[in-house]
Structure 1
Amino acid sequence: MRQMARMRRGAMTAALLAAAVTGSLMTGCTVGGGVDDGRGHSPGASPSATRTDVAGPTPRPASAGSVLAVKIDNVRDARPQTGLEAADIVYAEQVEGGLSRLMAVYATKLPKVVGPVRSARESDLELLRQFDEPTLAFSGAQHRLLPLIDEAPLHAHPPGEESDDAYYRGDQKPSPHNLYLRPRQLVAKAPGAAALTTGFRFGPAPAGGSREASRTVRFPSATFTFTWSASRAGWLVDMDGTRTVTTDARTVAPPTVVVQYVKIRESRFHDVLGNNTPFTETVGSGTAKVLRDGRVFEANWERPGAADGTEFTTPNGAPMNFAKGQVWVVFAKA
């Protein structure tokens, strides 16, 4: 059976590469929802490819389990989101047109539903290498990116034959902003905190820091504002000026927010409108602002290789501890 699966994947990869050479480049195909142009629009219908579970050619040794990473829509028509408050980590990245998209990572608990689910980007593959064979849930991807997803050391699960029971279309939002995931259809149980191989450390805050009531991070066409709430012991999240409250009326308030300054460069991919797909480099080193306990701390970050976690330290080289609970990481342009 595994040999047949490899043969099917090889044939599919060849077909996809041929299509990429002869056809126009299209971004983020979503099942039943058309083509994702990066701005949350669907100019035309184009079903995403269906693939079997894929593990990369050089997987790392087995760990405590596979985290579930879900690409989540973040345009205005997609809000409010579902299941966002249950994530252990939420990454915010820049996509085409200067807009934002989220990746929610689940390890300690699995909500009943997550969404809306949207398409993957090339940057996601580098970001996810820090986890041991993570499960990636996404609505699809442009054809030229699919072979790279197939080769990555992760379990790729877009909607398709093997994931039909995991995904469904809701009736409260227009397509393509209404694709939802039932996580337990992909991951039988939460693997636990040991699967969070990010290098994050949790513990008492370091000395110093400055009082911080709120901080805003700006993308070209999106904003994130984090406002300290002593009563919630966390940072209230506003995205594009709107308070982040999930569909079940839960206000998102992560105890720790990291503004990580990274290189954001052009990639080889474009959306259907001709906008370049940004590539966020998460391997390397740089500076960061860490928000916790109503204060902001200067920090440095380092991730030597793709298979490594990211180490955050204070300016004097001591470990930078995060507050226990959900962590938001916003990738800002250095």
Structure 2
Amino acid sequence: MPTSGTRRSTAAALAGLTLVITAACGSTGGERTTSAPRADVLAVKIDNVAAARPPTGLEKADIVYVEQVEAGLSRILAAYSSTLPPVVGPVRSARETDLELLRQFDEPTLAYSGAQSALQPSIEAAPLDALPPSKAPDAYFRSGDRAAPHNLYVRPGKVPHASPGVNAAEDIGFRFAAPPPGGTPVNERTVSYPSARFTFTWASDRDQWLVSMDRTPARTASGGRLGAATVVLQDVDVQPSRFRDRGGNTSPFSATVGSGTAVVLRDGKSYDVAWERKTAESATGFTTEDGEPMTFATGQLWIVLVPDDAEPAGDR
């Protein structure tokens, strides 16, 4: 089996070749392309409480995953491949949900601040390159403009990671193309966790869903608005895990292997879709009510893992 270094060198060498996408036309998000260079994904676990905002470099991610953590709060797992910003953060600790999500990718690198000691064996056994500060001290730094633990950042340029220019979403089968027929016009959609709230508002002048967190417009470190071309609200089973944080709070686990329903927001409309991921090694496929592959708008993709017992928020 080739080493990670060999794989990355090969991916980087192939990045300049013309992509031959053989599976794109039938892709639902659950099929990978076989003739194109693979994405070499850098995943960063990003803090998302009020004291950690605004994030740095989040607007450059290919995919932004939002997940529930202890005490009903939220954290972000951002996947980078097509573009690597100079700085990303603030970086926080990994969770069990991250390990299952990342098995969709080919040996991704995971930048994180640490993890519960009970989870560490699972991280070491996972098919990824775990990269906490202890393994790459030159890649991390503490900022002086905010208090710890919300001030740890990573410099992707100092991470042993290649960026072949392949979009991480396309790599796992997401197809960026014209929207499917139908859809329901919608201006706004809200998702609530016990202690966190996300609202996505359609801005036709920007062709984006502007993000608000906890009723406040979400911004980048430079002051711009965070916005997504496509938002997927994926209903998942969220159950208590066997892990706890330092305060004794039980860590929730969001199951992303299986099947269920989702809502896709794109181009000012919502689409009811089904999702399926047969195994941890499979990517997640999304299909319309007609059984056709769901297509996504070109640009950043947000996937919000919504507890399937959460009360639905109405469209506006």
What CA RMSD, in Å, does the superposition of the two structures yield over aligned residues? Answer: 1.3
1:68 and 1:187 in contact (8 A); partners too: no
3-state secondary structure, aligned to 1:143: coil
CA offset digits 1:242-261 (Å, max 9, x no partner): 11111112321111000000
CA offset digits 1:193-216 (Å, max 9, x no partner): 265433322111011111110000
Residue in 2 that maps onto 1:199: 173
1:63 and 1:195 in contact (8 A); partners too: no
Residue in 2 that maps onto 1:92: 66
Runs of 4+ aligned structure 1 residues displaced above 3 Å come to: 194-197
Residue in 2 that maps onto 1:80: 54
Q: 1:262 aligns with which of 191, 214, 236?
A: 236
Is 1:213 aligned to residue 187 of structure 2? yes
Q: How much does 1:231 deviate?
A: 1.0
Q: How much does 1:96 deviate?
A: 0.3
Q: How much does 1:92 deviate?
A: 0.2
Residue in 2 that maps onto 1:13: none
Is 1:167 aligned to residue 110 of structure 2? no
Q: How much does 1:188 deviate?
A: 4.3
Q: Report the Cα distance in structure 1 between the residues aligned to 2:272 and 2:243, rounded to whole angstroms.
A: 34
Q: Name which of structure 1's ranges 245-254 and 139-148 shifts more when overlaid on structure 2.
A: 245-254
1:163 and 1:186 in contact (8 A); partners too: yes
Unaligned residue ranges in structure 2 (runs of 5+): 1-35, 309-316
Percentage of pairs with the same residue = 56
Larger RCO (alpha carbons 8 Å, 6+ apart): 2
TM-score (norm 2): 0.84
2:79 and 2:168 in contact (8 A); partners too: no
Task: Give the 5 Å matches for 1:290-309.
Answer: 290-309=264-283
Q: How much does 1:152 deviate?
A: 0.4
Residue in 2 that maps onto 1:39: none
Aligned length: 272
Residue in 2 that maps onto 1:58: none
Partner AA of 1:230 in structure 2 = S
Q: How much does 1:316 deviate?
A: 1.3
2:232 and 2:304 in contact (8 A); partners too: yes
Q: Report the Cα distance in structure 2 between the residues aligned to 1:211 and 1:227, rounded to whole angstroms.
A: 12
CA offset digits 1:221-241 (Å, max 9, x no partner): 100000000111000000111
3-state secondary structure, aligned to 2:137: coil
Residue in 1 that maps onto 2:156: 183
Q: How much does 1:190 deviate?
A: 1.6
Partner AA of 1:167 in structure 2 = Y
TM-score (norm 1): 0.79
Q: Report the Cα distance in structure 2 between the residues aligned to 1:236 and 1:71, rounded to whole angstroms.
A: 21
1:64 and 1:192 in contact (8 A); partners too: no
2:48 and 2:76 in contact (8 A); partners too: yes
3-state secondary structure, aligned to 2:228: coil
2:63 and 2:168 in contact (8 A); partners too: no
Residue in 2 that maps onto 1:66: 40
3-state secondary structure, aligned to 2:226: coil
Q: Report the Cα distance in structure 1 between the residues aligned to 2:41 and 2:208, rounded to whole angstroms.
A: 24
3-state secondary structure, aligned to 2:99: helix
Q: How much does 1:145 deviate?
A: 0.6
Residue in 1 that maps onto 2:13: none
Residue in 2 that maps onto 1:7: none
Is 1:144 aligned to residue 128 of structure 2? no
